[in-house]
Amino acid sequence: MKRCKGIIAGEEAMYRNAEAKRITDISIFIIMAFIMAMQLVSCAPTKPLPQVRRHIEPAEVQGAVTAEQWDLAATAYEHLGQGMDYSGASVQPVLLVFKNKGDKHPVVPEYEAWAATGDEQLMPYSMEEAARLIFDSTTFEYTLKNSAKTGGLGAALGAGLGALIGAAYGGDAIWHGILGGAVGGGSVAMAASVIGSENALKRVIRNELRQYAWHSTPVPTGGTLKAGYIYFPVTESPLDTLHVKVREGETVVKEYTLPITDLKMRDRQPKEKTEG
């Protein structure tokens, strides 16, 4: 009987040792994968983001609405060289920027917004609708292949939508930590680029769409600047105007028609001085 107990105890000890070794091996694999990801990202070539001499106030945008309580502007999406290029991804992002100068907490519901080009009027996509269209696009396939080749493109995701906000209006000024998505999404994207996982890349893009979207939350007071994208269908010609409602509680305070302006941020880069 004692011999049987000894055999059982010995087998349990062997099992525990084997399990401990398995956990150690998994931990080492995870650490090595992380180190490889960091190396690939550091070696991957990226284009520098545009740097402007000063950031733009919403009231300075062509066609912006300037009122006593707030300023509003609508900006066309522009790819600035990093991350996925959404201009060919079956959606048309429009950036809404709102500066609250008053003491109220206004709300602009994204589901009440609509855009127009010529006689055509378009309602925005939901987040899931936009994501499905993007995943079916050739741009997504290209991004996936590129991230697998370079090992580092995935880490730049977040710059695809966030770069324009930061370059034009300044990341520090945007409410709700909107530019944190470029950093937060990068760690997931590194895993996608190393493992080559389509599902991982989809998670990154979903997070990016959500992080940089316009959300129907009250804009804080004190000159707070809020920015976010509303995702519209692709049209033959670019969208001309964005139509929004500003609410305070259940009351519609004002309806606005905003021209959708192309900021051409790449043209605003400081020119390098040449000798002679």
Single-letter code of the amino acid located at 109: P
State the pTM of this model: 0.69
Q: What's the rounded Cα separation, in Å, for the pair 157 and 201?
A: 9
162-173 b/e (C-beta count within 10 Å ≥ 16 → b): bbbbbbbbbbeb
Domain residue ranges of the chain, discontinuous segments joined by +: 44-266
Can you tell me the distance from the alpha carbon of 167 to that of 9, in angstroms, rounded to the nearest whole number? 65
Q: Say if residues 98 and 108 touch (Cβ distance below 8 Å).
A: yes
Contact 96, 108 (CB under 8 A): yes
pLDDT at residue 144 in the model: 82
Cite the beta strand spans of 56-139 per DSSP E: 65-66, 70-76, 92-100, 114-117, 120-122
Please give the pLDDT value at position 28.
44
Closest by Cα among 249, 274, 219, 259 to 69: 219
The tens-digit pLDDT sequence of the chain (276 residues) is 544 444 445 545 554 555 555 544 444 444 444 444 444 333 333 444 333 344 678 898 989 999 999 999 999 998 877 778 888 889 999 999 999 999 999 999 999 999 999 989 999 999 999 999 999 999 888 888 877 665 554 455 556 677 667 666 765 445 543 433 333 334 444 444 444 578 888 888 888 899 889 999 999 998 888 999 999 999 999 999 999 999 998 899 899 999 999 887 655 554 444 343
Contact yes or no for 128/152 (Cβ under 8 A) = no
By C-alpha distance, which of 257, 263, 31 is closest to 168?
Answer: 263
